[in-house]
Copies of this chain bind each other. A is one copy, B any other.
Amino acid sequence: MHEHNHQICIDQALKRAKQVCLQHGVRLTELREQILRLIWQNHKPLGAYLLMNLLEENSDREHVAPPTVYRTLDFLIEHGLIHKVHSLNAYVGCSSPNQDRCNALFICSVCGETEEIPNNSIQQAINLSASQHKFTVENQMLEIMGKCQPCKQKKASDS
């Protein structure tokens, strides 16, 4: 994840966003696309107020207020284009929209990179546990904090 052509990630995300909005019959306005782009600048989750500042810097808007950002985030979440990372109060691009359930989020505590990893066996185990307790799942969040391999290697070479 650390070394890759990230422009491809951004392009794919924008392409998917346009498809999804078309399917759902909603508009990917300039504001929504701008914020989605900002979120996809890298693979780290970004806070709402940081996005607010980034939007002010990277557009010709004078002042951006919180509701502008939060409404847009709500829209993007609603249509599965981003995730809220609850353990960080931050937002990250979704790499696989059009899914029924959220994937596992692996969050590196050193570099902050967050990778969304689909995993059927985790989902199956959750579904089984839920059905055993006669619990009907509506949605779920699995956030895993730890160290990614590049950061472990870097730390090892430091010492």
Interface, chain A (partner B; CB < 8 A) = 86-87, 104, 106, 108-109, 115, 117, 119, 121-122, 124-126, 128-130, 133-149, 152
Complex interface: chain B residues within 8 A of A136 (CB): 146-147, 152
Assuming A86-B86, A86-B87, A122-B122, is B138 touching A117 (CB within 8 A)? no
Q: How many copies of this chain?
A: 2
Q: Are B130 and A106 in contact (CB under 8 A)?
A: yes
Q: Are B129 and A104 in contact (CB under 8 A)?
A: yes
Q: Are A87 and B121 in contact (CB under 8 A)?
A: no
Among B86, B134, B138, contact of A109 (Cβ-Cβ < 8 Å): B138
Q: Are B143 and A141 in contact (CB under 8 A)?
A: yes
